[in-house]
Amino acid sequence: MLLARLDSAPESLFRKKASIFVTDRTLQFTLREWWREISAPKVVAGMIGAGLVLGLSGPFGTYVSMQPGPRLVYWLAIAFGSFGIGLFNARLIGEFAPLRKWGVLPAYGVAGIIGGLPVYLMIQLVNLAGGRGLPDNWSMALEIFAYCTAINLCICMLLAWFHSADAKKADVGAKAAAPALMKRLPIELRGQLSHLSMQDHYVEVVTDRGSKLVLMRLADAISEVATVPGIHIHRSHWVALAAVARTRRDGDRLFVEMKDGTVLPISRSSASAARAAGLMPSA
């Protein structure tokens, strides 16, 4: 038992250090989620609507200084760029940075303030592309920067409001059907179950709030999560179907990539079960 704890110590230390910084997996996951959200039909329609309203009204002197066609293109680019940057900052900084422990609103608020700079730079690039040039003086530049920061902050606060509403619904659903295994975890880790992995005599229980090694057999752990739709993909791994991002192949080997970026192997003996569960296309 002591050796098992010593063996798991370096990995636990690595996990603690990795959680302080935004990792490559976190960035990849954020980009995938960002593209999924920003390419949603309702979001695209909303950005087009905002761009058309701004293009037709022509704020900040653009109604006089630009022709209708270029003005519409200009404001559509501003609408898509501003919301895209705001969404990315909110998801990356507000969700994964250390300040996330402050809570949703403070974390997203900081993300909104930080995002003012990239939004400002994006607008200046659009201005150059549209022939409007750069600000004539520092006072004008600071005024535009203040507008950019305020707009990005509003975007992040709106996203935080939607996130809080979704989180409350998820918490209610999770509490209603919480698997027995959750009782073995600290309260702060009792989130949506991602996967279980065997490590010596321990089972690593991974949720969307973190992970913990629990002294038990994998078979017993799986029996305690019977209420969660999942599949035993390998003798050492079980995954919750809702937490699987995609399945991929590397030569003759099959893998599942979880939404948190973890990659787990699918054994040959489990391939048919994975296919039946919808993780793989039918042969």
Count of H-run helices and E-run strands, the chain: 10, 8
Please give the full DSSP string across 216-280, using - where no structure is assigned. S-HHHHHHTTTTS-EEEEETTEEEEGGGEEEEEEETTEEEEEETTS-EEEE-GGGHHHHHHTTSS
Specify which residues 202 forms β-bridges with. Answer: 199, 215
Cβ–Cβ under 8 Å, residues 84 and 92: no
Place of tokens 């999924």: 36
What average pLDDT does range 59-63 have in this prediction? Answer: 85
What is the CATH T-level fold of the domain 180-276, as seen in this structure?
OB fold (Dihydrolipoamide Acetyltransferase, E2P) (2.40.50)
Q: Which range, 60-69, 90-99, 237-246, is most confident? A: 237-246
pLDDT digits 0-9 by tens, 143-162: 889 988 998 888 888 888 87
Residue 244 pLDDT greater than 70, yes or no: yes
* Model pLDDT for residues 87-144, shown as the tens digit of each residue: 887 777 766 656 556 677 788 888 888 888 999 999 999 888 877 778 888 988 898 8
0.85 surpassed by pTM: no
- What is the Cα–Cα distance from 164 to 149, expressed in whole angstroms? 22
Domains in the chain: boundaries = 2-176, 180-276
* Terminal Cα distance for the chain, rounded: 44
Task: Give 163-172's long-range contacts (Cβ < 8 A, gap of 24+).
Answer: 163/94, 163/104, 163/108, 164/104, 164/105, 167/104
The runs of H, that is alpha helices, within 39-137 are: 41-57, 62-65, 68-96, 104-114, 116-129
Confidence category of residue 212, pLDDT binned at 50, 70, 90: very high
